[in-house]
Amino acid sequence: MRRALLLLALAVTACAEPPLPLPPGARPDLAREWLTPQGYRWPPDNGFGERATWIVLPPGMLLDRFGPETGRFLSPRGAAFGARALPGICRDLPYHSYRVSAPLLARVGYALPWFGEPGGATQLFTDATVAQLLADGTLVAVPAGDAPCPR
């Protein structure tokens, strides 16, 4: 009887909190692990897998990103999607490509494995948004071509 009551209590407790809603495009098999009531559970230290360092990116370097130009993360052009360790929903975001036209200070390191993806890509984080870097001429948009992931 005591065991039956304990099992009933556990079942009621498990059902007491409704599951978190999935963001559009989230993989249901991974989403619960990567969600909080506020949205996605992002990795620590902006996703850098090791101690990141600040470097100056030289003019002529090609970069890209998935998502709006209001972001500050980039990768060397062509880094595999899974190596960026982004949530699956990002596959459907706009893909952009850029050329560095003036020296650009960026924090550089490797992406942690996250969101069920392997990580390992070089990621770059800038103080300014991509939109700001385009506006001041530090970055120039170039034809993006095909995104480095299956859509």
Q: Which residues are catalytic?
A: 65, 123
Say which DSSP state 114 is in.
B
Instruction: Please name the residues in contact with 80: beta carbons below 8 A apart, sequence gap of 6 or more.
Output: 121, 148, 149
CA distances from 20 to 37, 45, 104, 115 (A): 7, 25, 40, 16
Instruction: Please name the residues in contact with 62: beta carbons below 8 A apart, sequence gap of 6 or more.
Output: 76, 77, 78, 97, 98, 99, 100, 142
Q: How far apart are the first and last CA of the chain?
A: 53
Largest Cα separation within the chain, whole Å, is 74
